[in-house]
Structure 1
Amino acid sequence: MHLSTTFISTLAFVALASAQTITGPFDCVPAGNYNLCANLWGRQAGVGGQNSTLVSTNGNNVAWNTVWNWANGPNSVKSYSNVESTVAKGIQLANIKSAPTTWTWEYASQSSGIRADVAYDIWTGVPQSGTAASSASSYEIMIWLSGLGGIQPVGSPVATNITVAGHRFDLWRGPNTNWQVLSFKTAEGDINDFNVDLNEFFQYIVQNEGVASTQFVQSIQAGTEPFTGSANLVTSNYSVSIN
């Protein structure tokens, strides 16, 4: 099929017009069923900066990238640039039938020796709704698809080399403020093409970690936590839903 130069130029213009870059420390931009937020909450622990660009949305799918460059404070998280679902929330763990998610990502570039993770950050609590990392939070459930530079989750390991949703993880647990952190850290290296049912993680912590099935999912976020170095993290496709 032959496409005219005018038509191709129009497509290029539409793609460029849809791209939006956020640079402020707490900027957010609507992204279909999500909000893309910079969240440079730990920026004062180092020197540097970052920006995130919303590339496209298509139904429940979203694509974005985050470019960051941080120095100093090698053991401190500088930010959590992420997308947060505006629809996949408000359901008790006991009532979830499935929670399918897809996340395809890669480092388009990275400096040597970067310290960073690529991870889901899922929040549950007693009330049906609540802001992430707040007084309404009971549990923070992280799923690390990457952890470079020797960084470790909060707490200490409570289970190693377990298989959940077809992948191998080490499970870490520890306190943070008023909530407990449960982190599934990949035990098989970077997982760049993740296509699973998050309900398998929910069921695991209910059955093995004493999490009450009456807990409500309050927020599902996905993004990166850089410590030091520089990188361009590209997510070509991401989606999550709860049924």
Structure 2
Amino acid sequence: MFIAGLALGAFVAAVSAQTMTGQFDCEPAGGFTLCQNLWGKAAGVGSQSSTLVGFEGNTVSWFTNWTWANGPNNVKSYANVLSTAAQGVQLSAIKSAPTAWSWQYDAKSQGIRADVSYDIWFGKAASGQPASSASSYEIMIWLSGLGGIQPVGSQITTATPIAGHTWNLWKGPNANWQVLSFVSSTGDITDFNVDLKAFFDYLVSSQGVASTQFVQAIQTGTEAFTGSANLFIKNFTVSINQ
């Protein structure tokens, strides 16, 4: 598997050319799109930049630096990559959805409030923008949640085993969609290698999600609340097999 530190010299030009600072800046990154998405910046003060390190095949590496203050319970940003290939497939047609994500905080302040998470969108149609009128469900998978932050809604399960890990599941409404958030019950998972189909199957069998729903988008990144951090995504990959 491609690791960002390997063959770094090949990406020096890309790094200098593709550091983003604007609120909604995006850049193509092979089979992904890297976006700043500082959608909640008005709730605090601070700044954030995101940089593409490189990509190879269906794997991408990037990092984001941020400092945010005020509004401790408000998300300031969701710097993320969105897969441009793993989308548009009905849940009932998915045979597997392998993913691997290796990440680390190169630096972080004390008292940081942030999560590192998947943001997966389901809808009744094969296509649709995340967080839009086309969204039926927002499925989050928190590999890290620091500073006492909580997902939307309330906790409905404790230490539920899925895909070799245990999760506390939270559920609640947001706009016109339902949010279901799997939060690691054992702390940070910095090397994650699973089949997302295990989560999809659980949602269909135990949470009333219809198998006719489509995976409209798979994003991964970090929701920043307050503090400062340098988050390095060493490598990330995802695919959907029918």
- Superposed pair shares fold, TM > 0.5: yes
In 2: Cα distance, 1:84 partner to 1:238 partner = 11
The reply on whether 1:16 has 2:16 as its aligned counterpart is no
Equivalent of 1:77 in 70, 75, 79:
75
Any residues of structure 2 matched to 1:30-49 within 5 Å, and which?
Answer: 30-49=28-47
Identify the match of residue 163 of structure 1 among 156, 161, 180.
161
Give SS of 1:160's match.
coil
Q: Which has the larger radius of gyration?
A: 1
Q: After the TM superposition, which parts of structure 1 deviate over 2 Å for at least 4 consecutive aligned residues?
A: 11-15
- 1:154 aligned to 140, 152, 160, which one? 152
Count residues in correspondence. Answer: 233
> What is the rounded CA distance, in whole Å, between the counterparts of 2:134 and 2:205 in structure 1?
23
- 2:97 matched residue in structure 1: 99
Aligned-partner Cα distance in 2 for 1:15–1:83: 18
Alpha-carbon displacement from aligned partner over 1:98-141 (angstroms, at most 9, x marks no partner): 00000000000000000000000000000110000000000000
| 1:116 equivalent in structure 2 | 114
SS of the residue 2:22 aligns to: coil
Q: Secondary structure at the match of 1:14?
A: helix
Q: Distance in 1 between matches of 2:170 and 2:97?
A: 22
Cα deviation, 1:159-209, whole Å, max 9, x if unaligned, reads 111111001110000000000000000101000000000000000000000
Provide structure 2 residue ranges, at least 5 long, that are not aligned to the other structure: 1-6
* Paired residue secondary structure (2:12): helix
**C-alpha deviation, 1:12, in angstroms:** 6.5
Q: Tell me the C-alpha RMSD between the 2 structures.
A: 0.8
Q: TM-score, normalised by structure 2?
A: 0.95
Deviations 1:48-68 (A, max 9, x none): 010000001000000000100
* 1:13 shift after superposition: 5.3
> For residues 38 and 12 of structure 1, do their structure 2 counterparts lie closer, same or farther at Cα, with a shift above 3 Å needed?
closer
Q: Take 1:238 and 1:15, find their aligned partners in 2: how far apart are those partners?
A: 16
TM-score by length of 1: 0.95
User: Which of 212, 215, 219 lines up with 1:214 in the alignment?
Assistant: 212
Pairwise CA distance, 1:158 = 1.0
